[in-house]
Each structure stands twice: as structure tokens, then as C-alpha cells.
Chain A
Amino acid sequence: MDKTRESRFMKYLRRERLPHIYCAGCGNGIVINTFLNAMERAEIDFENLALVSGIGCSSRIPGYMKCDSLHTTHGRAIPFATGLKLANPDLDVVVFTGDGDAAAIGGNHLIHGARRNIDLTVICINNSIYGMTGGQISPTSPEGSYGSTAPYGAIERPFSLSKLAKAAGATYVARWTTAHPLQLSKAMEKGLKNRGFSFIEAMSQCPTYFGRKNRMKSPIDMLHWMKDSSISKRKAEKLDESEIQGKIIVGEFQNRREPEFSDKLCKLIGEKCVTGRPSSVRSAYEED
């Protein structure tokens, strides 16, 4: 293929690994594009970027990107990312995770990352199901939705991940869907610029499991469903509980400045370190 005729995102991708393993129409690919667009707009240096993920279809994203990437264990992307950030506070560290990875096995790490306000941008692809392992119900599956572990429909109450991240202390929180690529990308851009814990919830389609089990035959049906059932945060605030049942509330939920964890730690080291080398945590990167 003539390189000048390739997608504008190709220069950031490991072309030899493409096409990626995702099913036709899977939302993960849209999240890749919206992220790369946001990265350009936020003027993040691709060479200074480290992408970290756990396990799941969504967590395979960093493996397709031509920058430093770390594919870790299920649920543990935020702890690995915390280590990277504290060892080298100048890195731009972004976590790609799924609803299962971030909210089930990794739920504890999510709330403590948010509580510390460490400068990470967490992009959580919420497809309301475990895609990789065959369509099991996740902590965000809507009540009544079907999955391979809920043949009669889910009876549990789902988490609202954006609410959870906000309550835990994240300083930038937004939710959009893959049917709103421009808004989603804008939210990622703001999240990348926020010096603190940013949580971007990207509602997304898993046509293979969520779609098939919930009477939405194609990725297009799912995108229409997400678009049609979305209402803005401002509008939702004026409605009562029963009226927002089954709706996807989209918009910005948090955007505030607060002291950031790696800054606080570096400052402390500067004040207390007996060797007088505040950057001693970074000595591994020095040549001497």
C-alpha cells in the first residue's frame, strides 16, 4: 500500500501487527483513533508517552502502538503505571483498561489511584461485558442485560464508573461514547492536559458478545443505541431517577486542580533526602 494513502493514524501504529485482532466494528478501534487525535491536539510528544494496560480485548491497545507500552496482568495496570510515573515523573503515562479490568479485579487500584490524584490518564473502555473471555457479566452490565453468566438477565446493580472515579477523588472525569468521537476525543485531550488523575469512560460496542446477546445485531445498531440513549449531564440533572433509567449520561463530571501525587513526593524527597539528591529516585536513568 502506498504510504501516502494510509490513515493519518498509521504513523503511530505497529503496522506489521495489523489488521488487529478485534472483531469487525468493535469500538476498541474507534478509541485508538480518538486517543491519537487527542494526543496530537494536546501536543503530547509520542516519544515521551508510555501506555500501560491490563488484560482484555481493550487492554491489547498499547500492543498496537509504536511507543513504549506495557501489557501487564489483569487489573493491575494502574499499579504498574504508578511505578512508571514515580520512577520517571516526566513521562506521560496513559492506562488503557476495560470495565472488567478496571472495575472488577482492578477496582481497588482504580479508587486508590484516583484518591492519590497521581498524574495518569486512565481510558476505560466500557463495553458493559467481558469481551475477551466470552461475554460474562461485568460490574457495569446494565440490570436486565444478558450475558453468558446471566441467561435470565443481570440482577445486580451496575457501577457508574464516572461517579465512582469522581467520588474517589479523580480530578478530571468525563464519559462519552464511541458514537460521539469528537466529544470523546476532546475529553481525552482535556484529561491528558490535566496534571492529576484523569478518568475517561468511553462507552463502547462489543457487537460479538454484548450486541448478540442483547438483540443488537450489528455494530451500527449498537452505535445508534448508544447515540439515542445518551443524554447530557445538564439535562439529566433536571430529571428524576425513573426518567434516566436506561440512559447513558454523557459529559464532564469533574474538572478541578488539586496537588498531584508525584509532585508531592518529589517535593518531600527534595526536603528530606539526606544525600541532597532530590532526583535520586531517577538515578537509574542517569548515565553516571
Chain B
Amino acid sequence: MITVNENLCKGCNICTEFCPRKVYEQSEKLNKKGVRLPVPKNEDKCKKCGICALMCPDQAIKVDEKNES
């Protein structure tokens, strides 16, 4: 499971761009903070490499470990 923390995400889109499986898409709507959050639309393609969580500058992403799912 993938969770994006709404309170921390600043909408930089690094996750959307650098996920090797293109799991994320930017949402159309702005949230309360004026951020277009990334949405893990293609979560079924996720291989749990953890790159998005390692690159998110705002520690906003949680991806479950390989064995948890």
C-alpha cells in the first residue's frame, strides 16, 4: 500500500517523474494547501523499490515493505 501525507506534500512532482513504473499521477484538484497531490493511480504496477520514498524531499510517502503489502 502507498500513502501520501497531505500535510507534508508540497507537490514538487519528483515522485511522479522518477517512479520507474509511473505509478503516480498528479491530481486535478488542489488540496487545502493549494497543492496538487500525487495519486498512486497505477499502484498495481508498483514493485516496492522505495525510490519514491527515498526521493520525496518532504518525507511524505510511505510504501509498504516487500513482505508487508
Q: Which residues of A contact B (CB under 8 A)?
A: 1, 5-10, 13, 18-20, 22-30, 32-34, 37, 178, 181-182, 185, 218-220, 223
Q: Which residues of A contact B8 (CB under 8 A)?
A: 18-19
CB distance from A36 to the nearest CB of B (A): 9
Q: Which residues of B contact A181 (CB under 8 A)?
A: 51, 54-55
Q: Which residue of B lies closest to A32 (CB)?
A: B59
Contact of A223 among B18, B51, B58, B61 (CB under 8 A): B18
Cross-chain contact B11 with A33 (CB below 8 angstroms)? no
Interface status of B39 (Cβ within 8 A of chain A): no
Q: Which residue of B lies closest to A179 (CB)?
A: B18
Cross-chain contact B59 with A5 (CB below 8 angstroms)? no
Cross-chain contact A33 with B5 (CB below 8 angstroms)? no
Q: Which residues of A contact B51 (CB under 8 A)?
A: 181-182
Main secondary structure of the interface of B (DSSP, over half): loop
Q: Which residue of B lies closest to A2 (CB)?
A: B3
Cross-chain contact A7 with B10 (CB below 8 angstroms)? no
Q: Which residue of B lies closest to A178 (CB)?
A: B55
Cross-chain contact A34 with B54 (CB below 8 angstroms)? yes
Residues of B1-51 at the interface with A, using a CB-CB cut-off of 8 Å, are 3, 5, 7-8, 10-14, 17-18, 51
- Take A29-B59, A220-B17 as given contacts and tell me if A1 and B5 are in contact as well, using a CB distance cutoff of 8 Å: yes
Cross-chain contact B62 with A19 (CB below 8 angstroms)? no
Q: Which residues of A contact B59 (CB under 8 A)?
A: 6-7, 9-10, 13, 18, 29, 32-33
- Tally of B interface residues using CB under 8 Å: 22
- 28 CB < 8 A contacts A-B: A1-B5, A5-B5, A7-B60, A7-B61, A8-B53, A9-B53, A9-B59, A18-B8, A18-B59, A19-B10, A19-B58, A20-B58, A22-B57, A22-B58, A23-B10, A24-B10, A30-B55, A30-B56, A30-B57, A33-B56, A33-B57, A34-B54, A181-B54, A182-B51, A182-B54, A218-B13, A219-B13, A220-B14
Q: Which residues of B contact A9 (CB under 8 A)?
A: 53, 59
CB distance from A179 to the nearest CB of B (A): 8
Q: Which residues of B contact A28 (CB under 8 A)?
A: 57
Cross-chain contact A219 with B55 (CB below 8 angstroms)? no
Cross-chain contact B54 with A185 (CB below 8 angstroms)? yes
**A218 to B18 Cα, complex, angstroms:** 14
Contact of B14 among A1, A34, A37, A219 (CB under 8 A): A219
CB distance from A235 to the nearest CB of B (A): 23
- Take A6-B5, A19-B10, A220-B17 as given contacts and tell me if A25 and B60 are in contact as well, using a CB distance cutoff of 8 Å: no
CB distance from A3 to the nearest CB of B (A): 10
Cross-chain contact A24 with B11 (CB below 8 angstroms)? yes
- Take A24-B10, A24-B11, A223-B18 as given contacts and tell me if A7 and B53 are in contact as well, using a CB distance cutoff of 8 Å: yes
**A27 to B58 Cα, complex, angstroms:** 10
